[in-house]
Amino acid sequence: MSATLKRKIHEIVFEADTKAGKTFDVVLLILILLSILVVSLESVYTINKVYGVALRWIEWVLTILFTFEYILRVWLVNKARHYMLSFFGIVDLLSILPTFLSLVIVGSQSLLIFRSLRLLRIFRVFKLGRYLGEGQQLVDAMRASRAKIIVFVSAVLTVALILGTFMYLVEGAENGFTSIPRSFYWAIVTMTTVGYGDIAPQTVIGQSIATLLMVLGYGIIAVPTGIVSVEFSAKKNVAETVSTQVCQHCSKEGHDADAHYCKYCGHHLL
């Protein structure tokens, strides 16, 4: 196959700037939605009992199509390893493995729900790339505040462990606090304001500690949000227009609309 034809196929499969490329991605999204629907219906006992065989046939047909697509993507890029180890490359692989695993592990086809991650391509198909840029700003803000978040989480866990231990000593096994780990679990559930109700303090001291934990839980909810918000506002919120071009050399995307070379590896964009 000539290099020119390979480039054209690459443009159709990996990009959405052309009519053919957008059509390919739209059809792909429809097939992904269909496969998710099939997996969901297969988990319903009454439907599976009547239409189980038909659903499994559809599932296998879709898996074969996705397998062919995956092999095609690996073949089209210059460095297959870059695509295979990329986020979408791993997701594409995970979307086909469960069906084959179901031949040896019963029930593993339910993991096909990983295919829903492939719907993230909708941002590229419908030219919503600017949202990817804003998403990257949020990721950068979380990465910049990870040290503060780690300290915060460590402090919360320490408080929960200490108060949980107090509850173990105060309430004891007769009230459900049979061990320090179980009391620690109760403290986490109470502090996060979930409150399953499977364990509840019965003594006045225990109820006082529970009250303290509940109030403390409401007070700490806003802390991680504030940490990330500060870092997020510190980032330059510059709107960038990105294209749907994917570098054939390193399989990276998110390039500027007027870019001629990949900003990651320097390879010429086709």
Domain layout of the chain by residue ranges: 3-127, 146-233
pLDDT tens, per residue, the chain with 270 residues = 567 787 888 888 877 677 887 888 888 888 888 888 888 888 888 998 899 899 889 988 988 998 998 999 888 888 888 888 887 888 888 888 888 887 777 766 667 677 777 776 665 555 555 555 555 666 777 777 777 888 888 888 899 999 999 999 999 889 999 999 999 999 999 988 887 888 889 999 999 999 999 888 888 877 777 776 766 666 554 444 555 667 776 767 666 666 777 877 777 776
Report how far residue 109's alpha carbon sits from residue 103's, in angstroms, rounded to the nearest whole number: 9
Fold of 3-127: Four Helix Bundle (Hemerythrin (Met), subunit A) (1.20.120)
pTM listed for this prediction: 0.57
| Contact criterion met (CB below 8 Å) for 18 and 12 | yes
Q: pLDDT by residue (tens digit) across 46-59?
A: 998 899 899 889 98
In CATH terms, is domain 146-233 a member of 1.10.287.70?
yes
Let me know if 235 is exposed, middle or buried by CB neighbors in 10 A (0-12, 13-18, 19+).
Answer: middle
| Contact criterion met (CB below 8 Å) for 231 and 141 | yes
